[in-house]
């Protein structure tokens, strides 16, 4: 059997998670580099239409892996069902998006098979016949090239935004094969309840043109006022990284990042934000990023257009005055 | 578990470089140099806090475990000072080089004679960021698990947990125990160690587990860091320098003439 690449797309409650297209793009790029054929799979109950949607992309084949026990999602069912499928097809490389759902079941699946997952990757390299996967370490301060030293299947998850979903190549409708898997009674131990949204999100930052965001560097709750004044002067919205909202200094609906909102304003002004991966994924699409941080090695500077290495408490007050002056003059 | 039963909770903790510590690569470019300041992995601090709160509610025992060289004992000492009852330290430099699969195997081997109701881990570490060790440990033990947990309630048949999903969604999950839970940061408010706590910690039991005691359970690493490096910048960054007043003027010039947002 030739080495194949399998992309497992993500569906939740019968809807394709759009981040899956990014994983298809990644799979197509690895297929082009290695010459290995690319296949895709969807896991669920009654998800044939999703399989057909994926079959419109340039893939050799799409598997619709079905069991009534896949709905609602549980890690027990997904790991057991996928394991059956993978042991019968034996792909070389299994790719998935690094979503909360995948994080929940893929380490279990790999462990059950005596395999490993290189998780949260941002790229790959194929050099001298060897595949390595690039991932961020130490909250993005360093990067690592990581290789597999185990047998296949090799599991890899890709960070949200690492590949462009809109670059997934279309193809001539690939064949869809339905594979029914058996999940024995007693395998599923968790009983999930309905998915719900907490309080209605009061603040929609996704439409904001200017965002002033604060991180740990703000030090104390009372200092939030300084950032608020800057946001007001600029006519922008105030936002924060997760630790600020965890501390209750700003409400959760002001949070930017993987567990908060994803934004792409004209200007993102990051004050005292180090730039942990979970924050970066929520704002790296901003048109311009200004970062103020006293740590010159803060990862936020990697993606900043303008970098100010310094104490935000020294820099923000004169900045507010200058912005006010400029506005008054215009 | 029932209202009267005691809860025995294990918290897996990790020592990681301090958030703003400058990192230097070692000579082979495969890891960082040891001479940095360390602190407890922040998500693990929330896991510990949650365990302490559960014990305060239900009575029982909180045990903390870590692996790594002698310096890693500091996170256990801090946890004991905050109120953990005892600690387990898998002490050897070699534990640093283990992948998540082998770290979980080492933990499983070290606790084989214990009977925990719950094992907590932080949802991921600030150094590797794999977000896997807890789930792997659950699978090795044959226990159910749930990840990214924001709330834990005891029920007659086990526990009810609140999972954080993406984009502001949540879900309650009922599950039996024993179970492994990975805890989301922000689930609670962290406490500080008290002076009395720090004093008492000195007399609390800390079991050291040498590598030899768990080595039989370990295998080869399944993945390997080939190279660690400073990431290549993909963006051109312009540094704005000078005294604060001058920086403010330069930034406003950028905002007005280059970004056109003023």
pLDDT digits (tens, 9 = 90+) for A240-292: 999 999 888 999 889 999 888 889 999 999 999 999 988 998 999 899 999 99
The answer to whether residue A191 is domain-embedded is no
Q: Which of A145, A180, A215 is the last residue of a domain?
A: A180
Q: B137: burial class by Cβ within 10 Å (0-12, 13-18, 19+)? A: buried
SS3 A240: strand
DSSP code string of chain B: --TTSPEEEEEE--EEE-TTPPP-B-TTSSSB-S-S-EEE-HHHHHHHHHHHHHHHHH-EEEEEEEEESGGGHHHHHHHHHHT-SEEEEEE-GGGGG--HHHHHHHHHHHTTT---SEEEEESS-SSS----HHHHHHHHHT--EEEEEEEEEE-SSSEEEEEE-STTEEEEEEE-SSEEEEEPTTSSPPPPPPHHHHHHHTTS-EEEEEHHHHGGG----SEEEEEEEPPPP-S--EEP-SSHHHHHHHHHHIIIIIS---
H-helix segments, chain A = 19-34, 48-54, 75-89, 100-112, 224-234, 242-246, 277-280, 312-329
CB contact under 8 A, A198 and B248: no
**Residue of B251, B253, B254, B260 to mutate, testing the A interface (most A Cβ within 10 Å of its Cβ):** B251
Q: How far apart are CA A52 and CA A11, in angstroms?
A: 13
Same domain, A248 and A305: yes
- E strand intervals along chain A: 5-8, 11-12, 15-16, 38-44, 61-66, 93-97, 117-127, 130-137, 142-148, 154-158, 175-180, 191-197, 210-214, 237-240, 267-271, 288-293, 306-309
CB contact under 8 A, B22 and A297: yes
State which residue of chain A sits closest to B253, comparing Cα positions. Answer: A326
Which candidate from B223, B228, B254 shows the least CB-CB separation from A142? B228
Which candidate from A147, A302, A326 shows the least CB-CB separation from B231? A302
Rounded-to-10 torsion of CA B152, A243, B148, B209: -90
Domain definitions of chain B by residue range: 7-217, 234-262
pLDDT given for residue B2 in this prediction: 46
Q: How far apart are CA B162 and CA B150, in angstroms?
A: 5
Same domain, A212 and A133: no
Same domain, A24 and A159: yes
First to last CA, chain B: 61
Mean pLDDT estimate for chain B: 94
With tokens 């462009």, the residue in question is: A164
pLDDT given for residue B231 in this prediction: 87
List the CATH number of the domain containing A236.
3.40.50.1220
Q: How far apart are CA B174 and CA B168, in angstroms?
A: 20
Pairing verdict, β A142-148 and B223-229: antiparallel
Residue B83 has pLDDT above 90, yes or no: yes
Same domain, A233 and A160: no
On the CB side of A97, how many CA atoms lie within 13 Å of its CA? Answer: 24
CB contact under 8 A, B164 and A100: yes
| CA distance readout (Å), A79 to A108, A130, A203, B149, B161 | 7, 28, 37, 20, 20
Residue B55 has pLDDT above 70, yes or no: yes
Which candidate from A137, A196, A307 shows the least CB-CB separation from B127? A137
Q: How far apart are CA A319 and CA A267, in angstroms?
A: 15
**Residue of A15, A73, A74, A100 to mutate, testing the B interface (most B Cβ within 10 Å of its Cβ):** A100
Mean pLDDT across the stretch B209-215? 97
pLDDT given for residue B4 in this prediction: 55
**Residue of A235, A318, A327 to mutate, testing the B interface (most B Cβ within 10 Å of its Cβ):** A318
Contacts of A297 in chain B (CB under 8 A): 20, 22-23
With tokens 């002490």, the residue in question is: B91
pLDDT digits (tens, 9 = 90+) for A146-158: 999 999 999 999 9
The answer to whether residue A113 is domain-embedded is yes
State which residue of chain A sits closest to B131, comparing Cα positions. Answer: A103
| CA distance readout (Å), A134 to A9, A67, A157, A159, B229 | 21, 34, 11, 11, 10
The answer to whether residue A185 is domain-embedded is no
pLDDT given for residue B225 in this prediction: 95
Same domain, A253 and A170: no
Beta bridge partners, A125, equal A132
Q: How far apart are CA B22 and CA B20, in angstroms?
A: 6
The residues, ordered by sequence, that sit 6+ positions from A142 with a Cβ below 8 Å of its Cβ are A136, B23, B25, B32, B228, B229, B230, B231
Instruction: Quote the domain boundaries for residue A125.
Output: 5-180
How far A161 CA lies from chain B's nearest CA (Å)? 14
pTM of the model: 0.90
Residue B234 has pLDDT above 80, yes or no: no
CB contact under 8 A, B166 and A321: no
List the CATH number of the domain containing A96.
3.40.50.620
Residue B180, φ and ψ in degrees, nearest 5: -110, 135
Contact present, A44 and A70 (Cβ < 8 Å): yes
Contacts of B126 in chain A (CB under 8 A): 138-139, 276
Same domain, A247 and A143: no
pLDDT per residue of chain A (330 residues) written in tens, 0 to 9: 679 999 999 998 889 999 999 999 999 999 999 999 999 999 999 999 999 999 999 999 999 999 999 999 999 999 999 999 999 999 999 999 999 999 999 999 999 999 999 999 999 999 998 999 999 999 888 999 999 999 999 999 999 889 999 999 999 999 999 999 999 999 999 999 999 987 666 788 988 999 999 999 999 999 999 999 999 999 999 999 999 998 889 998 899 998 888 899 999 999 999 999 889 989 998 999 999 999 998 999 999 999 999 999 999 999 999 999 999 986
CB contact under 8 A, B136 and A107: yes
pLDDT given for residue B1 in this prediction: 44
Give me the interface pTM, i.e. the ipTM: 0.92
The answer to whether residue A294 is domain-embedded is yes
Which candidate from A146, A242, A258 shows the least CB-CB separation from B223? A146
Which candidate from B171, B184, B251 shows the least CB-CB separation from A319? B251
Number of Cβ pairs < 8 A linking chain A and chain B? 243
Say how many domains are in chain A. 2
Q: Which CATH superfamily is domain B7-217 in?
A: HUPs (3.40.50.620)
With tokens 């004044």, the residue in question is: A229
How far B82 CA lies from chain A's nearest CA (Å)? 19
SS3 A129: coil
């Amino acid at each position: 059997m030739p080495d194949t690449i399998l992309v497992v797309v993500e569906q939740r409650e019968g809807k394709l998670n759009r981040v899956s297209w990014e994983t298809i793009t990644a799979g197509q790029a690895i297929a082009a580099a290695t010459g290995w054929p690319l296949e895709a799979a969807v896991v669920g109950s009654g998800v044939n239409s999703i399989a057909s949607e994926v079959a419109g992309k340039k893939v050799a084949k799409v598997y619709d892996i079905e069991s009534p026990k896949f709905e609602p999602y549980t890690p027990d069912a997904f790991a057991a069902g996928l394991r059956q499928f993978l042991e019968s097809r034996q792909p070389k490389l299994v790719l998935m998006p690094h979503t909360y759902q995948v994080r929940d079941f893929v380490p279990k699946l790999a462990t059950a098979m005596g395999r490993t997952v290189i998780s949260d990757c941002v790229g790959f390299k194929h050099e001298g016949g060897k595949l390595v996967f690039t991932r961020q370490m130490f909250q993005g301060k360093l990067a690592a090239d990581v290789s597999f030293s185990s047998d296949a299947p090799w599991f890899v998850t890709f960070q949200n935004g690492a590949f462009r979903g809109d670059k997934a190549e279309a193809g001539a409708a690939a064949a869809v094969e339905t594979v029914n898997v058996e999940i024995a009674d007693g395998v599923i131990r968790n009983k999930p309840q309905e998915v719900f949204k907490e309080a209605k999100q009061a603040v929609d930052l996704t439409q904001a043109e200017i965002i002033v965001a604060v991180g740990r560097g703000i030090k104390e709750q009372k200092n939030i006022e300084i950032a608020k004044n800057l946001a007001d002067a600029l006519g922008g919205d105030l936002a924060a990284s997760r630790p600020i909202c965890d501390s209750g200094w700003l409400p959760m609906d002001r949070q930017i990042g993987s567990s908060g909102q994803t934004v792409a304003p004209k200007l993102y002004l990051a004050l005292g934000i180090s730039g942990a991966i979970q924050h970066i994924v929520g704002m790296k699409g901003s048109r311009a990023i200004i970062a103020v941080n006293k740590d010159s090695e803060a990862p936020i500077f990697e993606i900043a257009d303008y970098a100010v290495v310094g104490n935000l408490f020294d820099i923000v007050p004169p900045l507010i005055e200058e912005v006010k002056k400029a506005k008054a003059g215009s | 578990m029932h209202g009267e039963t005691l809860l025995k909770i294990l918290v897996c903790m990790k020592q990681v470089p301090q958030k703003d510590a400058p990192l230097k690569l070692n000579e082979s470019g495969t890891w960082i140099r040891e001479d940095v300041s360390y602190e407890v992995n922040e998500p693990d601090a929330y896991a510990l806090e949650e365990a302490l709160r559960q014990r305060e509610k239900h009575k029982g025992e909180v045990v903390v475990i870590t692996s790594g060289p002698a310096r890693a004992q500091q996170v256990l000492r801090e946890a004991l000072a905050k109120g953990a009852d005892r600690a387990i330290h898998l002490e050897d430099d070699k534990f640093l080089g283990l992948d998540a699969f082998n770290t979980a195997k080492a933990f499983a081997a070290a606790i084989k004679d214990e009977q925990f109701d719950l094992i907590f881990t932080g949802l991921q570490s600030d150094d590797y960021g794999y977000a896997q060790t807890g789930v792997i440990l659950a699978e090795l033990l044959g226990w159910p698990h749930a990840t990214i947990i924001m709330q834990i309630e005891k029920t007659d048949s086990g526990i009810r947990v609140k999972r954080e999903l993406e984009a502001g969604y949540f879900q309650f999950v009922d599950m039996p125990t024993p179970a492994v839970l990975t805890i989301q940061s922000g689930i609670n408010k962290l406490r500080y160690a008290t002076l009395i706590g720090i004093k008492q910690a000195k007399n609390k039991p800390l079991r050291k587990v040498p590598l030899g005691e768990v080595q039989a359970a370990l295998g080869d690493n399944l993945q390997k860091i080939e190279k660690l490096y400073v990431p290549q910048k993909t963006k051109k960054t312009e540094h704005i320098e000078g005294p604060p007043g001058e920086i403010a003027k330069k930034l406003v010039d950028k905002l007005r003439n280059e970004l056109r947002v003023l």
